Structure 1
């Protein structure tokens, strides 16, 4: 199964009763294992969880801390990029060169990288004097 197929399949499990905007995400850990996540809304906005954050949490819960590929899919007119917080989360666990596929359920696709999504990222090297 491709990473995009994994994101597409899990998207249906999103909990989006308020926005009706379901998002699916999948990340591939360095081991090759695929971890999936969906957006989970809460009536107390903005207390929900993004799909990318859910996939990363599943990866970390399984004991992995490096991702090597990302896919995100939503039913939208154009591919939906991760929010700012999720861009930073992706940068925490993946190198700038990690490929990111953004897609729509209708088939539109944008291929990018974590580095392109978050140029000038804040990372552990900024903490060297701490």
Structure 2
């Protein structure tokens, strides 16, 4: 599934809301719930760097806090020459709440796009199926 322009626009618009006084590296996200509800996410930094939250997890946590548990697409935008790639923690959150086949669209500056999936970003995931 290709990302709709509205989703791309929301992820890019979120870049302007990112709270990044330390790194000056904004990231924006648009998470699409299975019912079509859209959730924007931004990265939110903290002087204690370990408490920083990524845009992807912000979007997921907003959706999950509102009772959503099924998702159909994620768009991530950054001011990077190549499409931005999510960190490992965000990939694990995606694996927790998404099917391996769920599309993920990665955006860089100047319209550079990479289409992938949750499984493409995190093969051999650790999931609840690993518990015996």
TM-score (norm 2): 0.93
Which residue of 2 is the match for residue 3 of structure 1? 7
What count of residue pairs does the alignment treat as equivalent?
128
Q: Which runs of 5+ in 1 are unaligned?
A: none
Report runs of 4+ in structure 1 exceeding 6 Å deviation.
none
Match of 2:27 among 23, 39, 45: 23
> Per-residue displacement from partner, 1:3-35 (whole Å, max 9, x unpaired)?
111111112100001111000011101111111
> Per-residue displacement from partner, 1:54-113 (whole Å, max 9, x unpaired)?
000111111101111000000011111100000000111110100000001321110000
Instruction: Write 1 or 2 for the structure with the bigger share of helix.
Output: 2
Superposed CA RMSD = 1.0
Match of 2:80 among 68, 76, 79: 76
Asked whether the equivalents of residues 82 and 109 of structure 2 are also in contact (C-alpha less than 8 Å), the reply is no
Q: Which runs of 5+ in 2 are unaligned?
A: none
> Per-residue displacement from partner, 1:37-59 (whole Å, max 9, x unpaired)?
10000111121000000000111
Map 1:1-130; keep pairs closer than 5 Å.
Answer: 2-127=6-131, 129=132
Tell me how far apart the structure 1 counterparts of residues 43 and 66 of structure 2 sit (CA, whole Å). 19
Tell me how far apart the structure 2 counterparts of residues 47 and 29 of structure 1 sit (CA, whole Å). 26
Tell me how far apart the structure 1 counterparts of residues 85 and 94 of structure 2 sit (CA, whole Å). 12
TM-score (norm 1): 0.94
